[in-house]
Amino acid sequence: MTATQSVPTDEISVAMCPFSLWIGSTIEKGHIATELERIQKSMAASRFSYEIICVDDGSTDGSREFLRGTKGIRLIELPINRGCGFARKTGTKAAVGRFVVWTDVDMSYPNDQIPELVDQMEDGYDQVVGARRTEEGTHAWARVPAKWFVRRLASYLIQTKIPDLNSGFRVFRREVVRRYLHLLPQGFSCVTTITMAFLSNGHAVKYVPIEYEKRAGRSKFHWRADSSRYVLQVIRMVMTYNPLRVFLPLGTFLLLIAFGKTAVDAITKNFYITSNAIILTIVSLQVIAIGLLADLISRLSGYRDRE
């Protein structure tokens, strides 16, 4: 770990003070200087003191060497690529500001609006998210419907409308976000996980509409690997956040079918109950039992997280 420069602060960490700003760097050399200049210019014109934390996640394009010579930042160097989630956790743990900002330096997020995003925290929110109006990423034909489905599922599980589930442009209260860092996976779904953790535990979250531009450089999204992660993410969401919202309706539906089949058998087969009706009844009760068990584990985990 190398600290290029530490800026004393009690406000913002732009991990990227009152805040810290976190910036991830893997293959961003071509535009990181432009983004840093844009961020520093907007922050200098604001009323906030701040620090900028750059986490180099095993870059191979010269980003690390460039950042070593950049003034006004704290550079954390990871020897190998550990994933976006690990880099965000590392930067957040290193932050000293009251607020922690997450963002990227691929020219897609309006980083010059960071002060306005942090301003919203003064209204008592625990997290403020920059909600994108459009999807400008690569493979939009696959990402848009997948993200729509995951977002709708998340809204159903949490029973709260979620305009943007996985925006990478957001600000937290440091003492709150640190409670949930252990939940974050290594990869891209870390922002989804942190959103669900905040909402499921009753924290105040605000969404602010932002413009989202087409990213500069090469996207790190891989449709095959990331599609499988989306499926795994859905399964984890169901099992972690309010599992009864899925298992109870499904089990009840199967149980009603089983009762219907039993009634038909009783009428048409002189009260002889077929094996199909028995199997349906057992399966429906097992689904409900799994939901109850998952809900119990989820609630116990939630209590531990709040402690």
The dotted CATH code for 12-240 is: 3.90.550.10
Helix (H, G, I), strand (E, B) or coil at 56: strand
Contact 199, 205 (CB under 8 A): yes
DSSP 248-283: HHHHHHHHHHHHHHHHHHHHHTTTPPPHHHHHHHHH
Alpha-carbon span 273 to 200, nearest angstrom: 43
pLDDT value of residue 14: 58
Contact 208, 128 (CB under 8 A): yes
pLDDT value of residue 171: 96
Q: What does the pLDDT profile of the chain (307 residues) look like in tens digits?
A: 344 343 334 456 654 334 567 666 555 566 788 889 999 999 999 999 999 998 888 887 788 888 899 888 999 998 888 888 888 999 999 998 999 999 988 888 999 999 999 999 989 999 999 999 887 665 666 678 878 888 998 999 889 999 999 899 999 999 999 999 988 887 767 888 999 999 988 999 999 999 998 877 666 556 566 667 767 777 888 888 889 999 999 999 999 999 999 999 999 988 888 999 999 999 999 999 999 999 998 888 764 455 5
CA distances 212 to 75, 109, 115, 170, 223, Å, are 26, 6, 17, 13, 20
Alpha-carbon span 37 to 43, nearest angstrom: 10
Contact 215, 131 (CB under 8 A): no
Residues forming beta bridges with residue 130, ordered by sequence position: 208
Q: Which amino acid appears at position 47 of this protein?
A: R
Give me Rg for the CA atoms of the chain: 23
- The pTM of the full predicted model, rounded to 2 decimals, is 0.80
CB atoms near residue 294 (< 10 Å)? 18
CA 296 to chain centre: 23
Contact 55, 95 (CB under 8 A): no
pLDDT value of residue 244: 93
